[in-house]
Amino acid sequence: MTVSKTAVLVLDSTDPETLASFYAALLDATVEPNGDDRELLLISGTTGIVLGIHHDSGHAPPSWPRPDDSQQSHVWIVVAPDALDEAEREAISLGARPLTAEQNGTRTDRRTDVRRYMDPAGHTFMLAPARGLAR
109: domain CATH number is 3.10.180.10
- Per the CB < 8 A criterion, the answer to whether 107 and 129 are in contact is no
36/44: higher pLDDT: 44
Q: What is the mean pLDDT of residues 83-96?
A: 92
Q: Would you say residue 114 lies in a domain?
A: yes
Q: Would you say residue 95 lies in a domain?
A: yes
Q: Would you say residue 41 lies in a domain?
A: yes
Is residue 71 helix, strand or coil? Answer: coil
Domain limits for position 125: 9-61+73-129
Look at the chain and report how many structural domains it folds into. Answer: 1
- Per the CB < 8 A criterion, the answer to whether 59 and 12 are in contact is yes
Closest to 29 measured CA to CA, from 38, 20, 39: 20
φ, ψ for residue 54 (rounded to 5)? -110, 135
Q: Would you say residue 67 lies in a domain?
A: no
Q: What is the mean pLDDT of residues 65-80?
A: 67
- Per the CB < 8 A criterion, the answer to whether 15 and 22 are in contact is no
Q: Would you say residue 3 lies in a domain?
A: no
Q: Would you say residue 23 lies in a domain?
A: yes
- pTM above threshold 0.75: no
Q: Residue 84 carries which side chain, given as an amino acid letter?
A: L
